[in-house]
Amino acid sequence: MIAKAAQWIGMRRKQEDAYVVKFFPDGVLAVVCDGMGGHHDGAMASTLATEAFLRSFEKNKSAAPGARLRTALEDANDAVRESFESRGVYGGTTLVAAFAGAGVLRWVSVGDSALYLWRGGRLIRLNQDHSYRDVFRAYIGAGMTAQEALRRGHVLRSAVTGEPLDMVDAPAIPYPLLPNDRVLLATDGCEDLLAPELLTSVGRNILDNREGSLPVAIIEACQAMDDPYADNTTIVSIDI
């Protein structure tokens, strides 16, 4: 397996995304967090969450991968709560974490940061979207475009804020991986390029290209879109 990553600040003043990638004897862990820009200290929340998640995952080596992921999420949520309570402020972050090993993919996620699979020329979103995009998608048949539905549905229904996690995507059954699969963890800054319903020939060509760095190529394509409101963007790819 080969893992690569890239970030872009977009048109924002501050990078509020954070990520970590680490190889273990039995697989590779990737975590991507998108700090909530509408709240204080979104960058702090995303950094705290990724660091606490990794520490927890490393510590619980004897547990099964799925249990390690879920425990690490709870520990990340606790770390965010403890930090912000001590400072009297409030912040939050999305979190998507995936562990690829032994021919399968396990994940846990909260919020709207995406986990994609590129296989056989098809882009599939594997994890749930804990925002209102799915609600707005229902209006597409009534005349709203897919892009409008995605842009209007950014409000989160769940996030890592230190409060109880009511919505968590953590499937009990691991997802089987095949040779040449490409797994991507991504914040919503690249959504206009990578959302399966919006995927263009440009996006397909990028995902099919095995030369160079896939995250860098995606970032460059996002920059080329010249969006004056471009958000922070973080991409981690794992090639099987």
pLDDT for 156-185, tens place per residue?
545 666 577 888 999 999 999 999 999 999
Instruction: Give residue 153's pLDDT.
Output: 44
Residue 85 has pLDDT above 90, yes or no: no
Torsion of CA 112, 72, 66, 197, to 10 degrees: 10
CA 27 distance to own-chain centroid: 18
pLDDT at 176: 98
> If you average pLDDT over residues 43-68, what whole number do you get?
95
CB 47 within 8 A of CB 39: no
The one-character DSSP state at 231 is P
The residues spanned by each domain of the chain are 2-239
Of the two residues 58 and 154, the one the predictor is more confident about is 58
Burial class (CB in 10 A: 0-12, 13-18, 19+), 208: exposed
Q: What are 126's two structure tokens?
A: 């594997």
CB atoms within 10 A of CB 55: 14
The pLDDT of residue 238 is above 90: yes
Min mean pLDDT across 112-116, 148-152, 194-198, 218-222 is at 148-152
Which pair of tokens denotes residue 6? 């890239």
For residue 129, what pLDDT is reported? 83
pLDDT, position 151 = 58
Can you state the angle between helices 201-208 and 214-224, rounded to 10 degrees?
A: 160
* Residue 119 burial by Cβ neighbours in a 10 Å radius (0-12, 13-18, 19+): middle
Average pLDDT over residues 87-98: 85
Tell me which DSSP letter residue 115 carries. E
Joined together, the tokens standing for residue 144 give: 């709203």
Report the CATH architecture of 2-239: 4-Layer Sandwich (3.60)
Name the pLDDT band for 36 (thresholds 50, 70, 90).
Answer: confident
> Is 90 exceeded by the pLDDT of residue 78?
yes
**Digit-coded pLDDT (tens) for 103-159:** 999 999 998 899 999 999 999 999 988 565 665 556 555 565 656 655 554 455 456
Residue ranges of E strands in the chain:
2-8, 17-24, 27-34, 95-101, 104-110, 114-119, 122-125, 175-176, 182-186, 233-239
The contacts of residue 220 (CB under 8 Å, 6+ apart) are none
Say what the pTM is: 0.87
Q: Tell me, what's the pLDDT at 64?
A: 92
- Inter-residue contact 81 to 94 (CB < 8 Å): no
